[in-house]
Structures are given as structure tokens and as C-alpha cells.
């Protein structure tokens, strides 16, 4: 091991979550973890490295939905349920 390097051991549940998130972002587990650690302040804008364009777009969409709910007083359960049931369906 080179000077300054560190090896971490994490439990199986956390490892599974890390692998799933890395795969969803199209990165290796190491790339994904390094990107997250490089910006540990929790960036929320597209000019922050460590977030893929898809992750930024998803966060922006969630922000828009929350802003709309605050502005209008909320979303009717039926509409929310329909959105939830179709989450991830790109055909709509």
C-alpha cells in the first residue's frame, strides 16, 4: 500500500447499497465512492463534480415537485399515487 492510502471495510448491507448506487450512476464502485468523498458537503447543483447528469436532473425534478407542492398546497393523493406507480417509466 502506498503512503497515504487507506482501505475501508464496510458491512454487507452498506456494500450492497454502494454497489447499487454505483451501478445506477454508471460508475464503478470505487469511482462512485471517490466522487462522493471528494465533495462531502453534499453538492446540490449541476456544477458540482461527483454527480452524474442523471442524478442532477433527478434532484432538480424533485425540487420542482416540492416547490409546486409548497406553492399550491400539495398534490392530490390520486395524482401522487399515479406518479409513484409510474416512477422510472420513461414512456410517459
At 50-85, the pLDDT tens digits run 677 777 788 888 888 888 888 888 777 788 888 888
- Give yes or no for a contact between 89 and 74, defined as CB atoms under 8 angstroms apart: no
Above 60 in pLDDT, residue 41?
A: no
Give residue limits of the domains in the chain. Answer: 12-85
* Cell numbers that stand for 3 in this block: 503512503
Report the chain's C-alpha Rg in angstroms: 17
- The rounded distance, in Å, linking the Cα atoms of 9 and 44 is 28
Q: Is the pLDDT of residue 16 over 60?
A: yes
Amino acid at each position: 500500500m502506498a503512503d497515504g492510502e487507506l482501505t475501508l471495510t464496510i458491512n454487507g448491507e452498506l456494500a450492497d447499497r454502494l454497489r447499487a448506487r454505483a451501478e445506477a450512476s454508471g460508475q464503478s464502485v470505487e469511482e462512485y465512492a471517490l466522487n462522493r468523498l471528494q465533495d462531502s458537503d453534499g453538492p446540490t447543483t449541476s456544477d458540482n463534480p461527483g454527480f452524474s447528469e442523471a442524478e442532477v436532473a433527478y434532484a432538480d425534478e424533485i425540487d420542482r415537485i416540492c416547490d409546486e407542492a409548497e406553492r399550491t398546497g400539495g398534490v392530490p393523493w390520486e395524482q401522487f399515487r399515479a406518479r409513484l406507480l409510474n416512477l422510472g417509466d420513461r414512456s410517459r
